[in-house]
Structure 1
Amino acid sequence: MQFTDVIGQQQLKTELTELMQENRLAHAMLFLGKEGSGALPLALAFAKYIVCEKVNRPAISDAPSLFGGGESPDDGAPVKLDAACGVCAACQKAADLVHPDIHFSYPVVTRKAGTPPVSTDYITEWRSFIKAYPYGNVYDWLQFIGAENKQGNITAHECNDIIRKLNLKSFEGGYKVLVMWLPEYLGAEGNKLLKLIEEPPAKTVFLLVAENESQILQTILSRCQLIKIPQPSDEEIRNALVTRNKADEETAMRVAALAEGNYREAMQILQHSDEDWQRLLRDWLNSIMKTGPVAQSKWVEEAGQLGREGQKQFLRYFNHLLRTALRLRVIPDLAEQYPESERDFALRLNRITSIEKQQAIIEELDKATYYIERNANGKMLFMALTIKIYHIIQHNVVFLID
């Protein structure tokens, strides 16, 4: 993972390299960013930068010649690179996630009954996952390793394994780095790591990558330098979708607006970009307010066939239109920033619902998304949501037409 693989975050990339170049590297750093922000790819790229041979060792070409070549006053100083070189042996091993001095810790489940789970049990799967889904979330990871409905954890046995590995001598004589993904899954057993985090062996760096600061042990949080990772801008996500995912400009712009800074979500939406969400939403609202129970049951049956991700994307699309409607109600001049079909639909929503009703529907959609992520029955959920939305806007007349 190189810095160029991370979407946006230019300022942070510069600041992180300066920490290394100026010998101000903290022994424990917490990369805090919401899902899809790129906190994990950024931490992996920085770990690679830390172990890069050209960053950490004198440039051979600048060394004094055997036959009396001139010496530079900077001989012996690390080379100042704004990214890992990508070609030295250390970089190549780091790219394949096999560098012996870069260790990983992440939530896992018991692989074999009676055997305490540790991250190394899943190291092969981890390497494949990072290469395929660098912006993935914990749900993606647990599904990738076949955890089904099991809860992932970072256990006391994992903490003991971390202590053992980091107390060993560096294999290649440089830095040792631990990348811990989601320390939120570390319970009270995480206190085992406090002494190691506070007084680590020489050239040992902890890179913790988290999404929710409030769920991290306060004792660990207080010992880390906090690095806040902002969400990528819509423009950065749009550009990434065009260059990395080969999306067309119009689709990329629409998807970026829906994703709201979450690149993982953007890729999920892109997979369903051919779906006619607007037609589906129009049919739903018409069944709620005009055509009645038979049409509602037929629509719920159709929605139930979308699958979990499709249902989430549909609800996100409706949520996006409602938020667009709210923005246009407050600042009408923003209308030209939206595609014509979305703008017209949002304006119709403004004519049939008040601000209070739009906010109430948004809250219901957020709750529904939450339950879908936890494997709620899609048909039952959408039928309940149909009834709730009816009661929210029952006094309004729906005129959403083709």
Structure 2
Amino acid sequence: MPLNRILEQPRARRILESMVTGERLPHALLFWGPPGVGKSASAIELARWLNCHQELEGPCGQCESCVKMATLEHPHFSYQMPLPRKALADADTGELSQSGAEELTEILRAKGADLYANAKFTAAQFILIGQIRSLIRWANVKSFSQKPRIALIDHADALKEEAGNALLKLLEEPPPEFILILTAETPEDVLPTLLSRCQPVEFDRLSDSIIDNELEKRGIQDVDTRKRLAHLSSGNLTRAIDFASKPETMEELMALGIDIVRHSLGKNPLQLNPHLESWNALTADQRTLVLEIITAWLRDAALLSAWGETSLPRLIHTDRIELLRKFVTNCPRADFTEAARQIETARFNIERNVLPPLVFTNLARNIYRTIYATEPV
């Protein structure tokens, strides 16, 4: 079956398979949808199929081309992602420094081994103009193969305007046998001049069951842990894998999320200060996960409050059931469902890059207000 390493995504797979088998593949595609659902994985699988030496309905996985794609070191495949400036020896040409090249090789090999692994440099925000210049040179090198060159620009929202304008020239005059694939969370994240030249393909969030299954394949044996990670990842397998590999960090974030809720309801606001410091030290993705933890805690509280002990099989925080029971008992008139909805405001503010302390303060006030139906003193 073609593209059989892509998880779920029946609509996207059907579109891509139809494009390839019908020989109607455009020279520019935009894979868009939530993070961690297989957009870059699908680009890699598509490149593997198009460059396979066997004329089969899908990549054979055995030929020289497929073997090279397994480590993402194929001469007909270019993977561009946000880079820190220190990764470049020459910012104008995009030539990598030795350390940058070594780190990129390590990242790509890990991504080749697990298509849903998190492929990113630390402290990288933008796709730089030098990278695009280097990509253009690569795309225009004459090839004696009839197979296409495929360039993947992962996180196209990280393209600065100068880099986007340079890329536009490549889209306006693409070389023969060249395909460009961009990924983004929404089409609006892509520069309009690039978006208008791309065929969009939408991807959906993954189901909890598929994430649970994939975590089990990766060695996570505890059923409750898999269930919790699957729920908290919100359809993002990459996030689930990342946090499954860091159980200590995951446990710290779980404790932080629950403590934020509990101490937001306390009479002494100073209790929140240590949690504010911890919150400020988190990455944006970690803050988002803490919000998922809080949402799940409030959801569990709503279920336990409404259905009592019969709700236990449906709860996420089963490892803290006594603490959850006490929380529900101490808040007899709380509207936990409404409190959970308020978390969306904090999530939206994180996406808008609102200052972390302000997000935290508003979050604590909203929790207090919705649980106690009054404003904090």
Please give the per-residue CA displacement for 1:27-61, whole angstroms capped at 9, x wherever unaligned: 1111112211111111111111111111xxxxxxx
Q: 2:33 matched to which residue of 1?
A: 33
Question: Cα distance 1:361–1:23, how it changes in 2: closer, same or farther (>3 A)?
Answer: closer
User: Does 1:215 pair with 2:189?
Assistant: yes
* Mapped pair 1:353 → 2:367: no
For each residue in 1:294-340, what CA deviation from the matched residue of structure 2 results, as whole angstroms up to 9, or x when unmatched?
7556x6399579965776544421122334566899999x9476138
> Are residues 1:142 and 2:121 paired?
yes
Match of residue 105 from structure 1? 80
Match for residue 297 of structure 2 among 307, 321, 338: 321
Distance 2:263 2:74 in 1: 58
When structure 1 is superposed on structure 2, of 237-246 and 101-110 the one drifting more is: 101-110
Match of 2:110 among 118, 121, 132: 132
Cα deviation for residue 221 of structure 1 reads: 0.8
- Asked if the contact 2:9/2:203 (under 8 Å) is kept, the reply is yes
Match of 2:60 among 85, 94, 107: 85
Q: Deviations over 1:77-127 (max 9, x none)?
A: xx332x311111111112222221222322223236874362755454233
Give a deviation string over 1:154-193, Cα, whole Å, max 9, x none. 31x3333333222221253421211121222223332333
Quick check: 1:292 aligned with 2:268? Answer: yes
Secondary structure at 1:245 match in 2: coil
Aligned to 1:72: none
2:141 maps to which of 168, 174, 181: 168
Q: Pick one of 213, 219, 228 that aligns with 1:245.
A: 219
Contact 1:106/1:119 (<8 A) preserved: no
Q: Normalising by the residue count of structure 2, what TM-score does the alignment of the two structures yield?
A: 0.76
Distance 1:197 1:311 in 2: 37
Counterpart residue number, 2:315: 339
Helix, strand or coil at the partner of 2:180: strand
Match of 1:13 in 2: 13
What secondary structure, in the 3-state scheme, does the structure 1 residue paired with 2:347 have? helix
Cα deviation, 1:117-140, whole Å, max 9, x if unaligned, reads: 627554542332133354456xx7
Change (3 A) 1:183 1:128: same
- Over 3 Å counting, the alpha-carbon distance change for 1:353 and 1:307 in structure 2 is same
Q: Which amino acid aligns with 1:165?
A: W
Paired letter, 2:197: R
SS at match of 1:275: helix
Q: Give matches, 1:301-312, under 5 Å.
A: none
Aligned equivalents of 1:301, 1:358: Cα separation in 2: 20
The one-letter amino acid paired with 1:51 is N
Root-mean-square deviation (CA), in Å? 4.1
Change (3 A) 1:323 1:214: farther
Evaluate the alpha carbon distance shift between residue 21 and residue 124 of structure 1 in structure 2; reply closer, same or farther with a 3 A threshold. farther
Match of 1:47 in 2: 47
Shift in alpha-carbon separation, 1:335–1:174, aligned structure 2, 3 A: same
Gaps of 5+ in 1: 55-78, 397-402
Q: Pick closer, same or farther for the CA change 1:136–1:241 going to 2, 3 Å.
A: closer
Number of residue-to-residue matches in the alignment: 357
CA separation in 2, counterparts of 1:11 and 1:366?
28
For 1:171 and 1:293, locate their aligned partners in 2 and report how far apart those are by CA, in whole Å. 69
Distance 1:279 1:154, change over 3 A: closer
The answer to whether the 8 A contact 1:50-1:175 is kept is: yes
Distance in 2 (alpha carbons) for counterparts of 1:313 and 1:305: 14
1:265 aligns with 2:239: yes
When normalised by structure 1's length, the TM-score is: 0.72
One-letter identity of the residue aligned with 2:240: A
**Secondary structure, aligned partner of 1:247:** coil
Distance 1:357 1:253, change over 3 A: closer
Deviates more, 1:195-204 or 1:265-274: 265-274
Which residue of 2 is the match for residue 235 of structure 1? 209
Amino acid at match of 1:212: T
Contact 2:148–2:177 at 8 Å: present in 1 too?
A: yes
Q: Quick one: which amino acid aligns to residue 128 of structure 1? A: E
Matched AA of 2:343: I
Long gaps (5+) in structure 2? none
Letter in 2 for 1:126: L
* Distance in 1 of aligned mates of 2:302 and 2:222: 28
**One-letter identity of the residue aligned with 2:20:** M
Q: Which residue of 2 aligns with 1:256?
A: 230
Q: Is the 8 A contact 2:31 2:183 kept in 1?
A: yes
